């Protein structure tokens, strides 16, 4: 007669980076190895009407740049046709400061000046980011860097969020592989919370919280310049962070060599995630420092890339409390992904 394996007891863990409490409740789930996406992403391969495909450039919003700069491009950066913010608001030389904020009877108001861009990662509709080779993914990462360097010339921009939505349930309105960049005139609260939490850890220990991540139980894969982990207080099952080995505060400090190295690791992780979790919809976000970060903040500010496969929903408890319930302990998730062999 088969015996039921013992269930780990629930735990509450606080993430020293995001300052978020997470409840690990494995009794709410099946075995970690059985986790699969219930709605796998099946990309629409109909490219005839897709504005992101090569040959349909005229259907897109204005282009910012392409690589290489000729008709046979490999990637393009364009304006978002339906931007969340307006790059056309009247700001002298794009200048803006705290004096432009106004306190109304209902709260603070800032003019909605900003940039909302799309990075088309490939000219071919059926190709996904994980299908590209490491150097091609590196080119996408360097495109982010190049665009960030352009936007940093505008003093009114305080923070630049790079993100990718893969799959309709993860927020992607287009199936053609792409990512986005949203440049904001404010520093979002979650970014301020992250910096304050990392500062508190630095004051207490004298060390950067991400430089200190050494647990072999949480490690998935590593390269010369980066390592991937299931974070100690993962908010979501099979959440993954990719972290630079060397302390680096700004994503745009990335050079070409490290971009290819990161491209290889990102490809491997996305392939593993697709194979183990039934090709789930996912989001990835690059968490970097605000543009005007001070020198005193650099020792504890460390950028990283976060990947969240969409396996569970967010309910009223999470929305109301800011705490998350995760049915999978991160060391279990890390072990499963670490031991998974994927041909690249």
The one catalytic residue in 178, 201, 287, 302 is 178
Give the pLDDT confidence score for residue 322 in this predicted structure.
86
* Alpha-carbon gap, residue 251 to 190, rounded angstroms: 17
Give the pLDDT confidence score for residue 121 in this predicted structure.
97
Binding positions: 50, 53, 125, 176
Query: Which residues touch 306 (CB under 8 Å, ≥6 apart)?
Result: 239, 240, 241, 284, 285, 286, 287
* Secondary structure (3-state) at 164: strand
Give the pLDDT confidence score for residue 106 in this predicted structure.
72
Give the pLDDT confidence score for residue 170 in this predicted structure.
79
Q: What's the average pLDDT block by block, 10 residues per block, for the chain (344 residues)?
A: 62 91 80 68 67 92 94 95 81 48 70 91 95 97 97 93 88 89 93 94 93 89 96 94 96 96 97 93 95 91 95 87 90 94 80
Give the pLDDT confidence score for residue 111 in this predicted structure.
77
User: Domain residues of the chain, as ranges?
Assistant: 14-29+50-87+110-339
> Phi and psi (nearest 5°) for 285?
-135, 140
What is the model's pTM?
A: 0.90
> Phi and psi (nearest 5°) for 248?
-145, 125
* Catalytic-residue membership of 91: no
Give the pLDDT confidence score for residue 96 in this predicted structure.
46
Query: Which residues touch 85 (CB under 8 Å, ≥6 apart)?
Result: 112, 113, 114, 115, 116, 182, 183, 184, 185
CATH class of 14-29+50-87+110-339: alpha beta
- Asked if 266 and 133 count as a contact pair (C-beta separation under 8 A), the reply is no
Binding positions for Zn(2+): 50, 53, 125, 176
Give the pLDDT confidence score for residue 4 in this predicted structure.
47
């Amino acid at each position: 007669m088969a015996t039921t394996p013992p269930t780990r007891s629930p735990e509450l863990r606080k993430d020293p980076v995001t300052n978020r409490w997470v409840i690990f409740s494995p009794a709410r789930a099946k075995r970690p190895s059985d986790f699969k996406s219930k709605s796998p992403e099946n990309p629409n391969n109909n490219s005839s009407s897709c504005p992101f495909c090569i040959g349909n450039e005229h259907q897109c919003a204005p282009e910012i740049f392409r690589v290489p700069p000729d008709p046979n491009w490999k990637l393009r950066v364009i304006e978002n046709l339906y931007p969340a913010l307006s790059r056309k608001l009247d700001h002298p030389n794009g200048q803006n400061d705290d004096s432009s904020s106004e306190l109304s009877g209902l709260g603070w108001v800032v003019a909605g000046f900003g940039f909302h861009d799309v990075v088309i990662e490939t000219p071919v509709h059926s190709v996904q980011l994980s299908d590209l080779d490491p150097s091609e993914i590196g080119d996408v990462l360097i495109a982010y860097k190049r665009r960030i360097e352009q936007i940093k010339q505008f003093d009114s921009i305080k923070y630049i969020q790079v993100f990718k939505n893969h799959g309709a349930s993860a927020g992607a309105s287009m199936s053609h592989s792409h990512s986005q960049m949203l440049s904001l005139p404010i520093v979002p609260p979650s970014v301020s919370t992250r910096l304050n939490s990392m500062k508190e850890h630095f004051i207490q220990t004298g060390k950067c919280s991400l430089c200190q991540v050494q647990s072999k139980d949480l490690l998935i894969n590593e390269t010369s310049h980066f390592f991937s982990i299931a974070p100690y207080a993962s908010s979501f099952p099979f959440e993954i962070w990719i972290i630079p080995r060397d302390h680096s505060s700004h994503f745009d400090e990335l050079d070409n060599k490290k971009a290819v190295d990161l491209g290889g690791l990102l490809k491997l992780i996305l392939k593993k995630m697709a194979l183990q979790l039934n090709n789930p919809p996912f989001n990835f976000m690059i968490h970097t420092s605000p543009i005007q970060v001070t020198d005193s903040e650099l020792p504890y500010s460390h950028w990283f890339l976060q990947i969240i496969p969409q396996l569970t929903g967010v309910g009223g408890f999470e929305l109301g409390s800011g705490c998350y319930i995760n049915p999978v302990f991160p060391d279990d998730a890390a072990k499963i992904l670490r031991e998974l062999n994927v041909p690249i």
